[in-house]
Structure 1
């Protein structure tokens, strides 16, 4: 995967990457580090729902930015969160594994940086005069990012609806699932070797004991990273365009139900 190497300052100044989208930088401070997120903003005459996005374990890559643009084109303002810090941009899966592993192994740290990024998005709505509708905040996450938005939800994040695409399901904090405030949609590959049936069962059994509005969809024949065009490892992690299209359609249905059609 190719890391975003261009300057976000340059992006912010030239801005128009597509006819109807602009990409802006949003920097925030957390625990002594600077983080640089990206906000994809459609041209619009009306306020739109805000979508907080945590990318996969590679972080702030061109591929993840393309995904943020795709979602923004559906009628959302998308904040792609930098959760590693500006000086940590994984160049390969080994580096990504270490970066993601440091947060997976420290759930309080994961929750804290997620909360800081979400606060930055909310602050940026005013600071940058973003066209985000009041009290309309969704979240999406992919692989590691899917697990992270679930973790943020278990910490009580103010998110109205979230969608985890092929994300981690098991966490030492599953007991906090009753604290989830918004609707939850988990989209999982039925043959994902990284999310075995035991993990799915454990997640479901915990969620059944809560009052959360949740759904879990398993896509037959799909493995890990089915929405990622760069995933090319058969049987483990591979892009499936048909399943990807279906997954984003499910996302759209949930957000339409929650925020109204855009």
Structure 2
């Protein structure tokens, strides 16, 4: 693993001042880059550590913000902000492209080699970037299998990997089937992994994560999902030096 540097980056989006986390490997050369989206509660140390872990593997990584620097630990407050957001593709794209612009402007990031990986709401944002035709090498989404507006998935220009828990009541079989049908009809190179016995947000450690029905950490599958994300990046966005 390589030595890394990190810094906080503020930037405007969705009428807020967002506070993201940038992690860079040592050196001064351009690196393949990964945008990381948090689940609906907002950016936390979980996503910051994921950015750091990717930087240690040689990527320029930017974990973006959803709520103007806030972490919405109150489930009702989180739902009050996220449900309208998830129903508004243009707002999701605004948030996603604002973060993507930060990463593209970073001198260490290669603007032609970027992937977007998100969790929950952040995964939905990553998918909307694809549906908007963003130049991405790969899209990964965990628990964020939100279907888009008719026909727009045809704009996705890269492979899509998705992961979901089999017992996730927020992403039930009907939602998974709708997502699969959308990707298939659009001719997308897609994969869907269903993790047996896992609930919603199974990837997220219980630290600072409120107890909500249908939500729960699954350590084995969390590790497997992370390996699957790394496999997606190794295939579509390899680090060559």
- After TM superposition, the structure 1 = structure 2 runs for residues 126-165 of structure 1, keeping only pairs within 5 Å, are 129-130=107-108, 132-133=109-110, 135-165=112-142
What is the TM-score when the length of structure 2 is the normalising length?
Answer: 0.88
CA apart distance, 1:53:
0.9
- 1:91 shift after superposition: 3.8
Q: 2:215 matched to 1:215?
A: no
Counterpart for residue 205 of structure 1: 181
Partner Cα distance (1:148, 1:45) in 2: 30
Instruction: Give the Cα–Cα distance (whole angstroms) in 1 for the partners of residues 218 and 4 of structure 2.
Output: 26
Correspondences of 1:109-258 after superposition (within 5 Å)? 109-123=91-105, 125=106, 129-130=107-108, 132-133=109-110, 135-167=112-144, 169-230=145-206, 236-258=214-236
Q: CA deviation at 1:242?
A: 1.2
Partner of 2:40: 57
Larger Rg: 1
Deviation of 1:243 after TM superposition, in Å, equals: 0.8
In structure 2, the partner of 1:98 is 80
- Post-superposition CA distance 1:194-233 (Å, at most 9, x none): 1010011111112111222111111111111111111575
Gaps of 5+ in 1: 1-17
Residues 1:70 and 1:241: Cα distance change in structure 2 (over 3 Å)? farther
Q: Deviations over 1:11-40 (max 9, x none)?
A: xxxxxxx98232212222346542222101
Deviates more, 1:229-238 or 1:247-256: 229-238
After superposition, the CA RMSD in angstroms is 2.4
Matches within 5 A, 1:29-44: 29-30=12-13, 32-44=15-27
* Larger relative contact order, structure 1 or 2 (CA cutoff 8 Å, min sep 6): 2
Q: CA 1:261 to 1:77, structure 2 compared with 1: closer, same or farther past 3 Å? A: closer
SS of the residue corresponding to residue 152 of structure 1 reads helix
Gaps of 5+ in 2: none
Q: For 1:159, what is the secondary structure of its paired residue? A: coil
Question: Following superposition, which runs of at least 4 residues in structure 1 exceed 4 angstroms of deviation?
Answer: 231-235
Offset at residue 170 of structure 1 (A): 3.1
Q: Scaled by the length of structure 1, what TM-score is found? A: 0.81
Q: Size of the alignment, in residue pairs?
A: 238
